Amino acid sequence: MSAKIMTGLYLLILGICIGGIIVLGFTESTILNADALLRLNEYASSITKYDQGIILSDVVAKFGYIVIFAAIFILFYDTLSYRFQKSNFFVWILSILNTILMFLFGFFYAPKIVNVFAQEPKIMASPDSESLLNSAEIILQVLLVTLLIAFFIRITLLDKSNKRNQ
């Protein structure tokens, strides 16, 4: 019974991370394009890049905390699952890769992105800041793909174990 609850929590956390990455992408594009939307309304004042960064930094910081918690749980669950032969070596290595990417984003990229957005607009538009944002985007894209693979592999493994038990 507790194994089923842990598996359900694992799939829920994977789903939250996958959805969070997708929502973060939509939020970023919406906030960074908000200036164009506000210019359509002649009565609204324009939003600056600095304002956009302040809004986006809070979202990135909170998502950083979510992925750190998720990385700890995923590593714990998949290590136990591999130890008790409920999964295979590939799934365990994939979870280690996911954990590394999540810790990388949560401990390195999220604080740096928040710091960049909290600085002056000149710093936010610098090539170093653009490079940081582009590399964080690549990390999130790779993480999204690996989380999706882990999610579907885990569902496949659950289906096989259910068929064996019937």
Q: pLDDT for 44-63, tens place per residue?
A: 566 667 777 788 888 999 99
Burial class (CB in 10 A: 0-12, 13-18, 19+), 145: exposed
Scored b (16 or more CB within 10 A) or e, 45-58 reads eebeeeebbeebbe
Q: Residue 18's pLDDT band (boundaries 50, 70, 90)?
A: very high
Percent of the chain, pLDDT > 70? 86
pLDDT at 39 over 70: no
Residue that is written with structure tokens 């999610």 in the block: 151
pLDDT at 84 over 70: yes
CB atoms within 10 A of CB 36: 10
pLDDT at 69: 96
pLDDT at 37: 62
Reference 59, options 104, 29, 14; nearest CA is: 29
Are 153 and 146 within 8 A, CB to CB?
no
Find the distance separating the first CA and the last CA of the chain, reported in whole Å.
16
Average pLDDT of the chain, as a whole number: 86
pLDDT at 43: 56
pLDDT at 122: 67
Its domain, for residue 106, covers 2-165
For 109, what's the count of Cα atoms within 13 Å in the CB-facing half-sphere? 23
pLDDT at 42: 60
Q: pLDDT for 100-153, tens place per residue?
A: 999 999 999 999 988 888 776 666 667 888 888 889 999 999 999 999 999 999
Range 57-80 average pLDDT: 93
Specify the number of domains making up the chain: 1
